[in-house]
Structure 1
């Protein structure tokens, strides 16, 4: 199973569970992009240097169907491709939220269109739901994994009308934006 292979890269996991559709498994949490150094003789690692935060992943057996999350810099996409790129095959949906881009765009990675959307504040999951106009009631009574399947099904029928670019071209236009967080003072 694909998500079993990803498990060493799970960080701050919310859940990994089977959906009601046989063979489908979903994960939400964070995914390691750049691992921390080995800290001791037992092989334990320091915290990761870079993460795909607020990640949502859906797999059908060994096939990646959907992956999404939030990264601070577009430059970290190369680390994403190293670990997860080989599983981006035709039919997969990838939506990546990035802090330091100004405008959304779509880039082909192999034969898979990857959607990049600017996000300085907010939650990737909520932004995805807004992009495909789902309502809270669309998820009522569903398990956590089935909610990811519902979002995936909505994304399958959604056309992103963002300009086509390459990641290399977009890297030339990144900005210095930092993630905005709000909370208790």
Structure 2
């Protein structure tokens, strides 16, 4: 399975959920997903923290294709890395939804036949934001396993038709801002 391969490649930086759904050919993951690994420290035999992460990642995959990808990036520059490394793993029906901190405005892009939805992101939780976009309420998820909640989100997302303007990747990269995610919590 594709997600098993990612696990063996140590792409799962932090795992909140990883397992099979009730559809035996599908696996779900939630957590932090490594895009660019950190440096290998030969003396310690360990890597430094990843240079690029898909934070709050939500993935659903078959044996060899990603059906659903959602998460957040600190910078639009990380988007280019994701595309170069994982475009061949995307199912033709997969439309990744990325929440990006320094994105100038929400939009859609198409790169090499794959469409991506990019959403300006300053605060919030990716799971909640995606659920809202896909019109999923808490009662829709009641009684489902964590893995099947990801499956339910995927099924609801099949009908999602964003109204954001279409731009090129070059336009998105050229208009990035210096914005950072608003941090909140204990002081």
Q: TM-score range by the shorter chain?
A: over 0.9
Is 1:107 the counterpart of 2:103? The answer is no
Aligned to 2:183: 181
CA contact (8 A) 2:98 2:119 kept: yes
Q: Give the Cα–Cα distance (whole angstroms) in 2 for the partners of residues 95 and 6 of structure 1.
A: 19
The alignment partner of 2:163 has SS state of coil
Contact preservation (8 Å) 1:89, 1:112: no
Task: Write the distance in 1 (CA, Å) between the matches of 2:46 and 2:135.
Answer: 43
Aligned to 2:30: 28
Deviations 1:9-43 (A, max 9, x none): 10111011100012110000011122111113464
**Where do 5+ consecutive residues of structure 2 fail to align?**
none
* 2:85 is aligned with 1:72: no
Question: Structure 1 residue 102: deviation in Å?
Answer: 2.7
Distance 2:143 2:112 in 1: 37
Q: Give me the whole-angstrom Cα distance separating, in 1, the residues matched to 2:16 and 2:23.
A: 20
Show CA shifts across 1:141-181 (max 9, x none): 11111011111111101111111111111111111101111
Cα distance in 1 for residues equivalent to 2:119 and 2:59: 17
| Equivalent in the alignment of 2:100 | 98
Q: In the alignment, does 2:1 pair up with 1:4? A: no
- Tell me the SS of whatever aligns to 2:58: strand
Structure 1: stretches of 5+ with no match in the other structure: none
Runs of 4 or more, structure 1, over 2 Å off, are 40-43
Match of 1:124 among 106, 123, 126: 126
TM-score normalized by the length of structure 2: 0.94
In 1: Cα distance, 2:36 partner to 2:92 partner: 26
